Structure 1
Amino acid sequence: MKIKSLYLYVVLAAGLASCAESQFEDAYTDPSKLAETTVGKQFSGMIYSNREFVLPSYWNYFVIHRITNNRYNQATGWVNEENQYVPGSAAINDRWNAYYNVLAQYREIEKVYNALSDAQKADQRIYMITAATFFYDYTQQVIDLHGDIPWSAAGMLSTNGGDYTQSYPAYDTAEGIYTKMLDDLKTFADELNSITVKDAVAAEFKTQDLINKGSIAKWKTYVNSLRLRMLTRVSASSAFSARAQSEIGSILSAPATYPVALTNAGNIQWDVYSLGTILPANTFQSGLEDWNGNIASKALIDHMVGNDDPRLEYVFEPGTAANGQYLGLDPMMNGTSQTELIATNTLSIYNRSTISRNQYFPGVIITASEVHLLAAEYYLKNGQAATAKAHYESAIKQSLAFYQNLRSLSNNGITPAPTPPTEADVAAYLAKTPVSWDAAASTQAKMTLIAEQKWIHFNVVQPIENWAELRRLDLVKLNFWTDQSNQQSLPPNRWVYPGSEATYNMPNYSAVQGEDNLTNKIFWDAN
């Protein structure tokens, strides 16, 4: 039978991609063989199928982020060329298909779970809470790139008994999906405080959980930290502002009930414990370094150098011909001059030992530094400048410790180990803050400091979060070369949909076609 929709292909192939790894076969069964599978195996299969978009990988960085988000964020420098602000079709298609692969996996978990008895469902409930949390995290990323997406009706071919005529997915509004996810996550946050997991299920969950290794406490942190991120993202939207204000306050005022990641020990990340296992050594090196994808931007380097940032030597290294000087690539230069400058080997690059050649580099999901900056924003906007300042300074300290820990994990020594900054160095950096948090400086001036710290901390490590926060806050002022050859002369506000939507899902795509352009803003972008 000829498959008429890309979604249908994704649904059929969803389980097969994971099973191609022979080492993983014992842990995950082909979802088409439902008699042989379990909720737990489907859960780990869903996470594993998304490994290249959590753990740093060649495809995600070279094909996708190198030509899109890393440029829009000026986390990297690049050679200016025509059409550079139009996301490439390969980047769009691959990210889109990968998401719907995971969505199809999630639907299989739901299908297997729904076939259980009520007693069995109660026993397996922990899997449904944690699977949805991971899936919602990934869903937020896709919404923040595209806006409205097929969601509630997507990935239903298996559930619909293979009837593809009933399985073409309509688009859900981004606001509607955010509402559903926030509703569910709030329920999960309360449910995890009272859930009972049988010993046998807990033992299996520890094995199948590739992210938090079966720790209920860590999943509580994940759920509430994700809620904090999502609520902050939509806080300027009129439809969500009151809810965001109320729920963020509830989360931050009740840490025992709604724990969030406040130290790096509480970070949510996919750790690589050993090489040569079912999780292959990451391909971050080629993904970030190939085609000069790791060159530092002038804006980021100038900010860190100009303020004696204690993270500088952990995040970047000088060019081999720079005599120890840190220099970034100016985006306002013409392409020819940029190419010539790159050839001199005087430009800084991302620290290879800390980042791109660190084979123990984790899949970063949520860190303490991000959470502190989210809290700082909330308290600042609520007139609590002193509390905001405390979270702001904690964010910087946690960020420094995060990058120091990354370096300590590394099995690569191509770049000399940095001299650890002293407490006095850190205090001096904090003192360079150009605005007084406790005096008459404007809220916007202080928010700019928060925005800049997000930009520094995220850099190339969390490109999608970086771009979302840069657009939402619009406070890190970056200069871009204007591409006069293309209507899209500056970075876009969103990604367009892949061409396969118009080809295979036209009846549903037509509902959003009028808004499918690079200038249309995501609903939470109020700037």
Structure 2
Amino acid sequence: MKNILLVTVAVASIGFTACKKKDFADSYADPGKISTSTVDKQFAGTLVSRMWTNTDKGNHGYVVPQYWNYFVILRTTLLHYTQAVGWENSDNQYVPGSASISDNWKDYYYFLAQYRELEKIYSKLPAIEQADNRIYMIAAAIFLYDQTQKMVDLHGDIPFSEAGKLSTNGGNYSASLAKYDDAASIYTTMLDSLKGFADELNSIVVPAYIQKKFNTQDLINLGDIKLWKKYCNSLRLRILTRASGASAFSSRASSEIATILSTPAKYPVVTANSENIKVTVFDLSSDITAKSFKDGLEGDAGRASNTAGKVMIDHMKANGDPRLRAMYQPGDSAKGVYTGVDPVGDRSAQDAAINRDSKIALYNRSTVSRNQYFPGILINAAEVSFLAAEYYLKTANLSAAKTAYETGIRQSVEYYYWIRTLSNDASSGPLTPTNATEVNAYIASTGVNWDLALTTADKLTLIATQKWIHYSVVQPHESWAELRRLDAPALSFEVDNASNIIKQPPVRWFYPSSENIYNKTNYDVVSSKDNLTTRIFWDVK
């Protein structure tokens, strides 16, 4: 089969509120209806192509938690590399599988082709209609950049600027062979565009007839322009922070982050959980649900990804973390004791603990894996607060850094208890509410207390550790990127002496083997980087 990057033909989509698969597929699946599509419908189709699994099209969902993403792609890769879960060590365990790589790649470029079709449809509008429909292009690009950053952070250089344009190029296969764009240049493109969007959103006027349709087609912020502003600027904050250690970006990151954080009226960010950027599950009879999250995370015996890792569990227990009971539940035979899998423990002991003893803690089924209303999290308040804390620490504004750090912790606690309120599952039993006294005690505990961290490095480790706990299994892409960038918290892994490829977790993923076949000329330019040890440009520590 030809590489999806080159041959996917973007197809039309229809608008909906809580659409059924049949309703959507009637228009979405027929390439012959491209000419009848509209900007608003293709905008919705672009979002949908990334949000949930569409077996009719052979693509998989990556925003709302889905089986394929968690079981096939994340289970043996990012969830292990971040120790968000516990697992039994095995030979060649750190090499990402070909299915993980190829499916993730294929699905991203299917999504990108949908976006290119949106660009194509928009470009054919008269100027006055382009102005009216501008909000669709801004919103689609913000979401595209969010998803593209994840791809860059996995692979480094990727085809981007010329990718996904087979339909745009009139079906000319040769003209659609896409070059690889330098990872840093993609970051620059995204930052330049997002800065422009941030200013444009402050003055944009959306006609009433467009706003009415946008409210329906916008599956992320439901037409709320204020939330799109917050999404845009919060994403800028994430990308700037990620690139801040690279010499080519350090000055820009410092300047732009300072501007964002000091002028909230002009550049607002997400500051409360009520503003979290997410895809909400409204109707379990629609396709936008987390029904398959259970099979994706819980899997089956010996292949589950809902078992707790020792390092995270021990930190939470030692410091009285209020999130512990919301995020996890004790093993069925653990008599209320939370125990995690030791990542460097004996393999036979790991096997017994996971598969036979039933004493290992699990991710709370009612909060996480069996919560069919689990939202598709894009950016949230705690994440933004921790990014702000890091910036303030770097600028020696310790008071502001402490406030942002402690605010992030409070928001993270609130976040996990809020997610539990969404659940339609009660199998884990009732969740004892937390309170201000418990949260304050946690913030004052030895392993969390800001004032007990005496050096800048120690304080940065506190921030990094809280990010890591907060991301858990919910945002593994962000977690793995931040672990590589900050080298904190320090995690130990078994040395895989059986592997002749890599003995510790990688710092990037391979490209799919199809690239060396169907896009060989362009692949050859980056082939020297196609290994598991070439760092992404921002990974400089």
TM range (shorter): over 0.9
Q: Does the CA contact (< 8 Å) of 2:42 and 2:117 recur in 1?
A: yes
| Aligned: 1:107 with 2:107 | no
Q: Please report how far the alpha carbon of residue 12 of structure 1 lies from its aligned counterpart in structure 2 after TM superposition.
A: 2.2
**Residues in 2 aligned to 1:15 and 1:197: alpha-carbon distance in whole angstroms:** 23
1:337-376 matched pairs, under 5 angstroms: 337-342=349-354, 343-376=356-389
Q: Distance in 2 between matches of 1:146 and 1:435?
A: 33
In the alignment, the residues of structure 1 paired with residue 521 and residue 272 of structure 2 have an alpha-carbon distance, to the nearest angstrom, of: 48
Please report how far the alpha carbon of residue 337 of structure 1 lies from its aligned counterpart in structure 2 after TM superposition: 1.9
Question: 1:67 touches 1:87 (CA, 8 Å); kept in 2?
Answer: yes
Letter in 2 for 1:316: Y
Matched, 1:300 2:312: yes
Q: How far 1:372 moved relative to its partner?
A: 0.2
Partner SS state of residue 415, structure 1: coil
In structure 1, the partner of 2:341 is 329
Taking the aligned partners of 2:104 and 2:327, their CA distance within structure 1 comes to 26
Are residues 1:33 and 2:46 paired? no
The reply to whether residue 12 of structure 1 matches residue 9 of structure 2 is yes
Indicate which of 402, 408, 431 corresponds to 1:418.
Answer: 431
Decide whether aligned partners of structure 1 residues 295 and 14 sit closer, same or farther in structure 2, where only a CA change above 3 A counts: farther
Query: Which residue of the partner structure matches residue 84 of structure 1?
Result: 93
For the Cα contact (< 8 Å) 1:61–1:287, is it kept in 2? yes
Give deviations 1:171-225, integer Å, cap 9, x for gaps: 0000111000100000000000000000000000011101110010110010000
Aligned residue in 2 for 1:447: 460
Question: Which stretch has the larger CA shift, 219-228 or 16-25?
Answer: 16-25
Does residue 514 of the first structure (1) align with residue 528 of the second (2)? yes
One-letter identity of the residue aligned with 1:237: A
Distance 1:349-1:440 versus aligned 2 partners, 3 A rule: closer
TM superposition shift of 1:278? 3.9
Q: Is the 8 A contact 2:234 2:379 kept in 1?
A: yes
Tell me what 2:263 maps to: 254
Residue 417 of structure 1 and its aligned partner are, at CA, apart by 1.9
Counterpart for residue 377 of structure 1: 390
SS in 1 for 2:366: helix
1:500 is aligned to 514
1 CA distance for matches of 2:308 and 2:405? 25
Structure 1 window deviating more from structure 2 (108-117 vs 34-43): it is 34-43
Contact 1:55 1:282 in 2 (8 A): no
The answer to whether the 8 A contact 1:212-1:268 is kept is yes
Structure 2 residue aligned with 1:461:
474
CA distance in 1, matches of 2:146, 2:160: 14
Counterpart of 1:205? 214
Offset of residue 280 of structure 1: 4.5
Q: Which structure 2 residues correspond to residues 168-179 of structure 1 after superposition, within 5 A? A: 168-179=177-188
2:331 to 304, 319, 327: 319
- Under a length normalisation based on structure 2, what TM-score does the superposition of the two structures give? 0.94
**Residue 7 of structure 2 is aligned to residue 23 of structure 1:** no
- The match for 1:310 is 322
Structure 2 distance, partners of 1:326, 1:367, is 27
> Structure 2 matches for 1:380-399, cutoff 5 A?
380-399=393-412
2:367 alignment partner, SS class: helix
Residue 9 of structure 2 aligns with an amino acid whose one-letter code is L
Contact residue 386 and residue 438 of structure 1 kept, 8 A = no
Asked if the contact 1:14–1:102 (Cα under 8 Å) also holds between the matched residues in 2, the reply is no
Alpha-carbon distance between aligned partners in 1 of 2:276 and 2:3, rounded to the nearest angstrom: 39
Partner SS, residue 345 of structure 2: coil
Does the 8 A contact of 1:373 with 1:450 survive in 2? yes
Other structure's SS at 1:113 match: helix
**How far has the Cα of 1:327 moved from its partner?**
0.1
Alpha carbons of structure 1 residues 166 and 20: separation in structure 2 relative to 1, 3 Å: farther
Please list, as runs of the form range in 1=range in 2, the aligned pairs for 1:484-499 lying within 5 A after superposition: 484-487=497-500, 488-499=502-513
Residue 184 of structure 2: SS of its match in structure 1?
helix
CA deviation vs aligned residue, 1:98-128 (integer Å, no higher than 9, x gap):
1001110010000000001110100000000
Alignment match, 2:57 = none
Q: Give matches, 1:271-282, under 5 Å.
A: 271-282=280-291
Q: Could you tell me how far apart the structure 1 residues matched to 2:165 and 2:522 are?
A: 15
CA displacement, residues 466-506 of structure 1 (integer Å, 9 cap, x when unaligned): 10011111021111011101130000000010000001111
Give the counterpart letter for 1:161 in structure 2.
G
TM superposition shift of 1:292: 2.1
**Residue pair 2:21, 2:286 contacting (<8 A) in 1 also:** no
Instruction: Kindly provide the amino acid, as one letter, of the partner of residue 443 in structure 1.
Output: T
CA contact (8 A) 1:151 1:172 kept: yes
SS of the equivalent of 2:378 reads strand
Residue 438 of structure 1, CA deviation: 5.6
Change (3 A) 1:392 1:31: farther
Q: Which amino acid aligns with 1:376?
A: A
Q: Distance in 2 between matches of 1:151 and 1:17?
A: 26
CA RMSD across the alignment: 1.8
Write out per-residue CA displacement over residues 358-414 of structure 1, whole angstroms, 9 at most, x where no aligned residue. Answer: 011000000100000000000011011111000111101100110111111111000
Could you say what secondary structure the match of 2:278 adopts?
A: strand
User: CA separation in 1, counterparts of 2:146 and 2:462?
Assistant: 26
Identity of matched residues, %: 53
User: Please, which runs of 5 or more residues in structure 1 have no aligned partner?
Assistant: none
Alignment of 1:426-441 (within 5 A): 426-434=439-447, 437=450, 441=454
- Farther-moved stretch of structure 1 (82-91 vs 421-430): 421-430
Shift of residue 14 of structure 1? 5.8
- CA distance in 2 between partners of 1:338 and 1:278 (Å): 37
Q: Deviations for 1:141-198, whole angstroms, at most 9, x for unmatched residues?
A: 0000000000111111111111111110010000111000100000000000000000
Q: CA 1:16 to 1:277, structure 2 compared with 1: closer, same or farther past 3 Å?
A: closer
Change (3 A) 1:5 1:364: closer
Aligned to 1:470: 483
Partner Cα separation in structure 2 for residue 48 and residue 83 of structure 1: 35
Greater mean alpha carbon deviation, residues 276-285 or residues 313-322 = 276-285
Pairing of 1:50-65 with structure 2 (within 5 A): 50-51=50-51, 52-65=61-74
Cα distance change on mapping 1:362 and 1:262 into 2, 3 Å: same
State whether residues 385 and 438 of structure 1, in contact with CA within 8 Å, keep that contact through their aligned partners in structure 2: no
Name the SS for the 1:512 alignment partner: helix
